[in-house]
Amino acid sequence: MFDLVFWLPVMAGGALAGASSGLLGTFIVGMRIPFLGICVAHAALAGAVFGSLCGLEGPTVVLAALSGAVLAALVLGLLDPQRTQLDDNVVLSSLFSATMGLAFLGIGLHDRLGRSDNDVRGILWGSLSFCRWRDVRLMLIVGGALLAYVVVFFKELRAILFSRSDAAAAGIRVTIIWTGLLILVAVVLAVNLQTVGGLMIYSLISNPAAAAFQLVRGCRRAMWLSAVFGAASGLGGFLISAATDLPSGPVIVLVSSALLAFATIHRRYAAKPI
């Protein structure tokens, strides 16, 4: 028997993680930096590992993960590509390998010291089935902050999405707006990570946005449709997994991939963008 009271926060968590990741995906996919999600996720993991090594436990490990992710976001935001002469993806891949190295070093130290790494594994793989209203509230708060940021700075974000260097040349305060968005990326991903895990986050960032780009014209429409696709993937994937008794994570990933495949085929054969 499907216990709605138990599963309602799980469904809300899946939908919220999908919506916020989908919204972020518009910018991450649009700027062709999908590595950002995986890079920030590993920075969060490194933060959690070292937080756990320092004796943090339970929900406080999330704070350590958050610190790691925000630190990585600050490094990315404050690096000026004009000065470093490095492509965003080169910076991201370097930071990704460094944070992954740190995370695995910490996991090795865990083993050597004989400490439990259950909290760390929770951050790495997530556990949607254990999502409770407390987690949903936190996801709602950070999702709301992201939404408010996107609404307030929509016109600047649209300019940055088109070209960061062109936006700077046109007198837009790119460093401030971009760093602010990166910090929100870090916070949203760190919070969603413990609920839905790294693999799902990556698919919920990339697939809904890529699908929305296939179907609509205009930045605002693409943003909202991406958030809707993300929520539909999270919720729909969970419902399908519950009905078929399959693991929820992979089903959510496959639903989001199916949405992208449908959008691509629809664009190719059926219609022009709306």
Partner 1 sequence: MSARAVEIEKLIVHAARRCVLDVDELQISAGEITAIMGLNGAGKTTLLRTCLGLATPTRGVVHVLDRNVPQLHGGSLAQFRRRVGYVPQLLPARSELPLTVREVVAIGRTGRVGLFHPFKKADWRIVDEWIERLGLTLLSDRVFGEISGGEQRKTILARAMAQEPELLLLDEPTANLDLGWRERIVATIQQLHAQTAITILLICHELEVLPSICHHVVLLDQGRILVCGAPEEVFTTERVAAVYGAGLHVTHEGGRHAVVPGGSIHV
Positions in the binding site for partner 1 (CB under 8 A): 29-32, 82, 152-153, 155-156, 158-159, 161-163, 165-173, 210, 212-213, 216-219, 221-222, 273
Q: In whole angstroms, give the CA distance from residue 39 to residue 93.
A: 7
In the numeric block, the tokens 């839905």 are attached to: 196
Closest CB to partner 1 among 118 and 163?
163
CB of 197 to partner 1, least distance (A): 27
Closest CB to partner 1 among 45 and 223?
223
CB of 12 to partner 1, least distance (A): 29
CB of 189 to partner 1, least distance (A): 22
* CB distance 64 to 56 below 8 Å: yes
Q: In whole angstroms, give the CA distance from residue 149 to residue 23.
A: 11
Q: In whole angstroms, give the CA distance from residue 109 to residue 53.
A: 8
Residue 30 CA, distance from chain mean position: 14
Closest CB to partner 1 among 104 and 224?
224
* CB distance 186 to 40 below 8 Å: yes
Closest CB to partner 1 among 17 and 223?
223
CB of 100 to partner 1, least distance (A): 27
Closest CB to partner 1 among 33 and 254?
33
CB of 182 to partner 1, least distance (A): 17
Q: In whole angstroms, give the CA distance from residue 8 to residue 6.
A: 6
CB of 33 to partner 1, least distance (A): 11
Q: Tokens at residue 107, please?
A: 């996991």
DSSP secondary structure, 130-188, as one string: G--HHHHHHHHHHHHHHHHHHHHTHHHHHHHHH-HHHHHHTT--HHHHHHHHHHHHHHH
Closest CB to partner 1 among 112 and 272?
272
Q: If we measure between CA atoms, which residue out of 139, 120, 109, 97 comes closest to residue 12?
A: 139
Closest CB to partner 1 among 55 and 171?
171
Phi-psi region of 272 (alpha: psi -120 to 50; beta: other; left: phi over 0): beta
Q: If we measure between CA atoms, which residue out of 21, 17, 41 comes closest to residue 223?
A: 21
CB of 162 to partner 1, least distance (A): 6
Closest CB to partner 1 among 250 and 273?
273
CB of 163 to partner 1, least distance (A): 4
Q: In whole angstroms, give the CA distance from residue 228 to residue 225.
A: 5
